[in-house]
Structure 1
Amino acid sequence: MDAADALTLLMSPQGRIDPYPTYERLRAHGPVVEAGPVFYVVTGYAEADELLRDPRLGVMDAAIRDGLWPGWRDSPAVTSISRSMLRTNPPDHSRMRRLAAGAFSPRRIAGMRGVVAAQAEELVDAMVERGRRGEPVDFLADFAYPLPVGVICALLGVPPEDRPLFRRWAADLTGVLEPEITPDELAVADRGAAELRGYFTDLVRARRRAPADDLTSALVQVHDADGERLSGDELLANLVVLLVAGFETTTNLLGNGLVVLLEHPRAADALRGHPDLAPAYVEELLRYDSPVQLTTRMTTEPVRCGGLDLPAGSWALLLLGAANRDPRRYPEPARFDPWRAQAHPLSFGAGPHYCLGAGLARLEAQVAFPLLLRRLPELALAGRPRRRTRLTLRGYDTLPVTLGTPALVDRGTPAGARPGTP
């Protein structure tokens, strides 16, 4: 199969649901392959890492989009993404990122461990109550979504009663991140974006009248003090992206990771007994089945990578899920091995666009998995979970599980706490 045919297969529903065999078909052509005129596909770890960090490559910003799609501003979904730090290049990207970075500092995130653990315990309690008669519960709806959405909404100052609104809106909006999107799918994404922008427009007004100790209030104050530092469009776009990115990726990490652990009971048993192993497990889960499978970059100058010359104006499709299974980097890459040394997956990217909330996502997963395994030792899949037909953001639509007999609750050791030497 040539590279173009493999890429076509990857974009099909079958290829999106299980992209890993197709990644290997592409990898057979080399770590960087020319799949069309000035279009390159990258499957190699070293090559993807190099291009993500190279200042001669950038994301598709408004100026580039104007040349390719003059009517993009008519789409609320595309506008919401394009006005944010997600789709801007320096100096605008650096300016916007700095304004939000303080809320995601390592010290701030470390201080949230107790809050995350308490929320996770409450969600498990609710799951136990819901499944007390042995009925399956949906892990996504009952845990994997409410945990990260609760955390990011607390940072943004979103009231708890509004949090159930966001799952559908975000799922609709993120369709615009796919490498291919139909007009019908774009219309759905536009509806989700319009709902989110409307919600945050109201929240901005409320925080302007009554500021609070949250990130929304801080960004509103920056905008009101100096619109050059943060315009009105940028304010709304970044609030939308911070919310969506703050839970969508983590929800997928929790869902993908739980399935992997339940399919590897010996590894799950080891983590249950030694929760201090959680950081290594989370890195391997990110590598093994990444919640983010791809990103794109465009060369602004000629670049040589993977033995090929990429002219200025070339597009690079960086398949992060393939890079995370590069056998040159990871021996036996298709094997789940939480004892790998220095996994360092590319699931959160690298370079200037490295995910701002990566530390928070890691913390939530490091707390959640040992807690779930400890509290629910008989946790099991209830049938086959259903995958979303998405490639960029890889996850499940539903994930039914049975809980079995819960363990006796011991509140003495907080979830995710490091025990003594086993």
Structure 2
Amino acid sequence: MGIAATPVHDRRASASLFSRLRTAGGQADPFPIYEELLSRGEVIPAPWGGSVVTSFDVCDQVLRSRDWLEPDKRWRERQGPGTRWNASSSQEMSNTLAALNPPDHKRVRRAAGTFDRSTIERISRTVSSTTDRLLDALSERLRDGEADFAVLVGEELPVATIGDWLGLPAADWPRLRQLTHDQVFTQELLPSASQLAASDAATAELRAYFMALVSDRRAHPGEDPVSRWIQTWDSLEADREKADEAVYFLVLFVLLAALETTAQLLTTMTLLLVECPERWDLVADHPDLVPGFVEETLRYDPPTHVISRVAAEDCVLSGMEIRKDEMVHLMVGAAHRDPARHSDPDRFDPLRKPAHLAFSGGIHYCLGAPLARLEAQILLRQLIRRLPRLTLVRRPSMAPRVAFRRLLNLDVALA
């Protein structure tokens, strides 16, 4: 697999490749398609406008540079009525941390705080006990034959972790998880009208839920993060209604970020573990490889395959002219298989030196990266310690997405 010396700058030339990405086969295994995209050049025109970036180094450059911006609220409004960017769910997301540019981004990120060492230590106890409980349920189901790891563990651990931390009632977790699955469509590469409608409805319900939560925590403050964010925003914003809305946007962002991508990381990691007996034996015999196994999962098949940015000014990116306000789509899933960055990139190797963009980069580096790594490492350690080797029963089905990967099932059995 190599990169063409002379890029093929023809929008029609890549249209068929992106059409294939949107098929069930393309979503199940997009990597041969990524190889073809890589062969066309580091930066190529996207069929629908804007550009697509496939090389690791150029993706990394864009993510780290202040010359590339998030498609924020003002940018979305400039796209005009009737576009996907003016859907109500898209407009709502434009107020969250992930879509903010400086100086707004710095202000909100400071208000959010970070998952510092003491917080991670407290959460790790919850993750460990929850993982034990979920693996008990998995073991019980395996006695009767096969079990769906995605349903029993992969989707349960993230919602239990973030739900407990935020102090959300456990009875609400299943509905919040489903709403998250629907809401993420507005952040897809090319969402359909029906997907946007589902996202709009989910976003409206999430807003109602979390605004009520903020109101309740204001009336009955506790030691939870939501109560602390209310105190922080009261010191930053004189208008109480605006302060409450700022807290809501922060809680919404944390929930969406913590559930969708972490669940996918956990399930993909386990798929890579059970589909190859040698991998299970390797990490079981060498538990010190657990962190490397997690990092290689994030490179090999990251939860997010596409990250979008817009140009702050006219520029030239790897020989391609980009106009101010034009969007570039960073094909992270392809960049992680770039042979210019990784030798033998299609081989899963937990001994490989970590280098990936799964948590983005620059000022938008993922706030919850320590939490995602914590959940994945604890789960993997307890899986190999508590259970005999598992085997894959059938290939999983994939959700109809390109940017945000999601395994709908992971059916396993005792080997």
**Do they superpose with TM above 0.5?**
yes
> 1:35 pairs with 46, 52, 56, which one?
46
Q: What displacement does 1:9 show?
A: 2.8
Give the Cα–Cα distance (whole angstroms) in 2 for the partners of residues 114 and 43 of structure 1: 39
Structure 1 position 378 matched with structure 2 position 389? yes
2:7 aligns with none
The answer for the alignment partner of 1:246 in structure 2 is: 258
Partner of 2:237: 227
Q: For residues 46 and 220 of structure 1, do their structure 2 counterparts lie closer, same or farther at Cα, with a shift above 3 Å needed?
A: same
Describe the SS at the equivalent of 1:386: coil
Aligned partner of 1:276 among 274, 288, 292 = 288
Find 1:197's aligned residue among 207, 221, 237. 207
Residue ranges of structure 1 left out of the alignment (5+ in a row):
405-422
Match of 2:120 in 1: 109
* Alpha-carbon contact 2:27-2:398 (below 8 Å) kept: no
- Tell me the CA shift for residue 240 of structure 1: 1.3
Q: How many residues align?
A: 401
From 151, 159, 171, the equivalent of 2:181 is 171
Question: Which secondary structure does the structure 2 equivalent of 1:112 belong to?
Answer: helix
1:2 maps to: 13
| Pairwise CA distance, 1:180 | 1.0
Q: Note if contact 2:75-2:325 (Cα within 8 Å) is conserved in structure 1.
A: no
Take 2:216 and 2:378, find their aligned partners in 1: how far apart are those partners?
A: 33
2:346 paired residue number: 334
Q: Which amino acid aligns with 1:209?
A: A
Query: Which residue does 1:157 correspond to in 2?
Result: 167
Aligned equivalent of 1:395: 406
* Structure 1 counterpart of 2:302: 290
Identity of aligned residues (%): 36
Within 5 A, what are the aligned runs for 1:288-327?
Answer: 288-327=300-339
2:273 to 261, 266, 270: 261
Matched-pair contact (CA < 8 Å) for 2:280–2:389: no
What's the offset of the Cα at 1:305? 2.8
**Is contact 1:383-1:400 (8 Å) kept?**
yes
Cα distance in 1 between the residues matched to 2:41 and 2:348: 24
Aligned position for 1:408: none
Question: What RMSD over aligned residues (CA atoms) do the two structures have, in Å?
Answer: 2.1
**C-alpha contact 1:373 1:379 (8 A) present in aligned 2:** no
Paired residues of 1:34 and 1:41 also in contact (CA < 8 A): yes
Structure 2 Cα separation of the partners of residues 13 and 265 of structure 1: 27
SS at match of 1:2: helix
- Counterpart of 1:145 in structure 2 is 155
CA deviations on 1:363-408 (whole Å, 9 max, x unpaired) are 111111121122221322222211112111112112222246xxxx
1:36 positional shift: 5.5
Deviation per CA, 1:289-334, whole angstroms, max 9, x where unpaired?
1111011000011333323332322211100111111101111101
Closer, same or farther: CA 353–189 of 1 in aligned 2, 3 Å:
same
Structure 1 residue 356 displacement after superposition:
0.6
Question: Structure 2: which amino acid aligns with 1:295?
Answer: I
Check whether the contact 1:83–1:233 (CA below 8 A) recurs between aligned residues.
Answer: no
**Which whole-Å CA distance do the structure 1 matches of 2:369 and 2:122 have between them?**
15
What residue is the counterpart of 1:181 in the other structure? 191
8 Å CA contact 1:84–1:237 kept in 2: the answer is yes
Deviation at 1:75, TM superposition (A): 4.1
Task: Measure, in 2, the Cα distance between the counterparts of 1:82 and 1:403.
Answer: 45
Alignment-derived partner of residue 378 in structure 2: 367
CA distance, structure 2, for counterparts of residue 310 and residue 78 of structure 1 = 24
